[in-house]
Amino acid sequence: MIESTQSNTRDIPVWLTAIVVLACVIGGGWMTVWYLRDRPRQVVEIPDDQVVAVSPNNRGNYKGPAIAKTRSLSTEVDGIQPWARASFRAKSGNTILFVNYSGQKFDLVPQYLNTRTPEEVDLAVMRMSVMNDPTWRDNLKVTNEQLDKLKKVPGPQSPKLDPADKATLTQLWTAYHDGPAAGKAAAEKNLLATLATIGQKNAATIRTFESTRAQLIREALTPEQIQQYRAGGGTGGAAPGKTLNARG
């Protein structure tokens, strides 16, 4: 009798092969994610002269990939920075210019800092307190004649730009915002220098107005009434009934 030496082999089931392949795929994917997760990210700092200003509502003339760079400036630092979703803020000294976009159009809104002294602010608040609160009028014994004088004092003046200044700033802002990246630094410098000059001129006018306004308030009330108002907590905005005897 001849004994066969051929070994018997068993075929691997198809379902087992599928499980092995699936396990390899899952394991390989997990290893890839783990490897990439622990690799440090590369951070690229874009030079200022290569940053392209992009309009809040469109990308202007820039056709390349989107570039995002945000400047973090203190509110006290001079310069230009994004301020809201569709606006920018330019500051030069005591002058601030808000550039608010609406579609392709924008509007310029100025603001001038330090145009009133603390005393002028105090007198303006006093005027409003006396006019709007009958308790203050009773406490200070304000006469109808005095009240009429206070009513004739003009209200605060809203900052404005005359047409020539607005045209100049519009041109300089367009050159900065829509001009080539290579000229950004020079365009920003020109805009801020002109903004400071215009601000000094307009702020001086507002300071004169506020000084005259404060003088009219002083003339409407007596020194004793002003002193009594301050002694009664008026400067701090406290309710007169809580700080000053209603009969006093």
Domain-located, residue 215: yes
In a domain, 21, yes or no: no
Please report whether residue 33 resides in a domain.
no
- 219 in any annotated domain: yes
Give me the pLDDT at residue 235, please. Answer: 53
Q: How many residues does the chain have?
A: 248
| 87 belongs to a structural domain | yes
Residue 156, pLDDT score: 87
Question: What is the predicted pLDDT for the residue at 157?
Answer: 86
pLDDT of residue 129: 95
Q: Strands 105-112, 95-102: parallel, antiparallel or unpaired by DSSP?
A: antiparallel
- Look at residue 239 and tell me if it is in a domain: yes
Question: CB–CB of 94/113 below 8 Å?
Answer: yes
Q: How far apart are CA 100 and CA 86, in angstroms?
A: 6
The H helix count followed by the E strand count for the chain is 8, 4
CB-count burial class (<10 Å; 0-12, 13-18, 19+) for 14: exposed
Query: Given this model, what pLDDT does residue 241 score?
Result: 41
In a domain, 179, yes or no: yes
237: which residues sit within 8 A by CB, 6+ positions away?
125
CA distance 201 to 194: 11
Number of domains in the chain: 1
Parent domain of 112? 70-243
Is 8 inside a domain boundary?
Answer: no
**Hey, what are 238's tokens?**
């406290």
> Is the pTM above the cut of 0.75?
no
Average pLDDT per consecutive 10 residues, the chain (248 residues; last block may be shorter): 49 60 61 46 35 38 37 74 93 96 95 94 95 95 97 91 96 96 96 97 95 97 96 57 33
104: its two tokens: 């392709």
Q: What's the pLDDT score for residue 232?
A: 82
Which pLDDT score is estimated for 175? 97
Angle separating helix axes 184-220 and 144-152, nearest 10 degrees = 160
